[in-house]
Amino acid sequence: MLDIKITKTTHPKPLPDPNTLVFGKTFSDHMFLMDYDEGQGWHNPRIVPYGPLPFELSCMVFHYAQEIFEGMKAYRTAQGKVQLFRPVENARRLNSSCRRMCIPELQENDFVDAVNALVSVDKAWVPSQPGTSLYIRPFIIATDNGLGVHASKRYLFAIICSPVGTYYPEGINPVKIYVENEDVRAVRGGTGYTKCGGNYAASIRAGERAVQQGYSQVLWLDGVHRKYVEEVGAMNVFFKVGGKVITPELSGSVLPGITRKSCLELLRDWGIPVEERLVTAQELFDAAQGGTLEEAWGTGTAAVVSPIGCLAWGEKNAAISDGRIGRLTQRLYDTLTGIQWGTEPDPYGWVLPIE
């Protein structure tokens, strides 16, 4: 059990208008911090008013990006209670990222306690408008000063929170995605399966180009053969082809999404055939041409379940589900969000109420 010292703000900010929330732009009143020093381990867990921290410009994270993060949400139920969704999964993935990036791991229950404590202090910041939630961003940065390339001996674990609405301006309406042929995001043996900032830095150029051309994000191809689809900027992907659901396997360069895992569990429970395997862009466009690409959607904490209405690849264009949300996509969206916001029963024990 972490012994968290809590210092509350003397200047609480006004809560933002829940109707005009922009993803990740407003932050709650407090943040969680905990230090790591070699020889001492993780220590000094504390909740303090949200605000800037001083760092020397030689701080290692600024140069070599030894950094990892998580993304999760707190949801307000119709009864006014607040709950988390599968927080232990985030703790496990954080530790998997830690191992890859030579960052000291956290105890799973310390991670969950820290999230719990912060959300509990900032409970008023969990919005209640339909579709809104409190996005939680835990992260660890290397804080040693110096320009040598090696693992830092000091780290900061921090959690900040941001009330959010939908990730895409489209909301639950289908997004347009194109297959990226030029840049690659990750390769097997690299860091693709971790949530490290560097993966996202590498993806920004393609993302900017996509937006300039009227698309929401890109669909990445594998970095070796440049033919297997992997995932979208901030989502895993699923395709319903001829009655079967196909999602790219976790090859090492794909992020093991918690929403992906949850959707797979739901689909299997519903008796819908699911394949986790390599899938080429060619296979998808052939299916589209043959009329068997029935639905496509992305999954992610921020993006929830987002229908893909249009997929482009060079000159080729596939319109999916007539640009509407497909039936299975809708069912997944309804079930998952129902469990998250507490309007549906939670037979899997996925939600954790905040005290």
Piece in contact with ligand PLP (CB under 6 A), picked from 210-218, 295-303, 315-323, 329-337: 295-303
Which residue, 234 or 279, has its beta carbon nearer to ligand COI? Answer: 234
Q: How far is the CB of 218 from ligand PLP (least distance, A)?
A: 11
As a whole number of angstroms, the distance between CA 120 and CA 40 comes to 28
Which phi and psi (to 5°) does residue 306 adopt?
-115, 115
Which residue, 186 or 328, has its beta carbon nearer to ligand PLP? Answer: 186
Interface size with ligand PLP, residues (CB under 6 A): 13
- Quickly count: other Cβ atoms within 10 Å of residue 289's Cβ: 11
Q: How far is the CB of 93 from ligand PLP (least distance, A)?
A: 7
The secondary structure of the chain in percent helix, strand, coil, rounded to multiples of 5, reads 25, 30, 40
Q: How far is the CB of 112 from ligand COI (least distance, A)?
A: 17
As a whole number of angstroms, the distance between CA 81 and CA 2 comes to 23
Which residue, 12 or 256, has its beta carbon nearer to ligand PLP? Answer: 256
Asked if 305 and 299 touch (Cβ cutoff 8 Å), the reply is yes
β-strands 154-164, 133-142 pairing: antiparallel
From the list ligand PLP, ligand COI, none, partner contacted by residue 236 (C-beta under 5 to 8 A by kind): ligand PLP
Nearest residue relative to ligand COI (C-beta) = 71
Binding marks (x or -) toward ligand PLP, 219..238, rule CB under 6 A? ------------x--xxx--
- Quickly count: other Cβ atoms within 10 Å of residue 203's Cβ: 21
Binding residues for ligand COI, rule: CB under 6 A, are 71, 200, 234, 300-302
Which residue, 71 or 342, has its beta carbon nearer to ligand COI? Answer: 71
3-state secondary structure of 199: helix
As a whole number of angstroms, the distance between CA 308 and CA 320 comes to 7
As a whole number of angstroms, the distance between CA 42 and CA 103 comes to 11
Residue 91: name the closest of 159, 41, 19 by CA: 159
Among 83, 259, 306, 340, binds ligand PLP (CB under 6 A): 259
Among 247, 299, 329, 340, binds ligand PLP (CB under 6 A): 299
Which residue, 121 or 140, has its beta carbon nearer to ligand PLP? Answer: 140
Helix/strand number for the chain, H first, E second: 7, 18
Q: How far is the CB of 73 from ligand COI (least distance, A)?
A: 8
Applying CB under 6 A, which residues contact ligand PLP? Answer: 71, 231, 234-236, 255, 257-260, 299-301
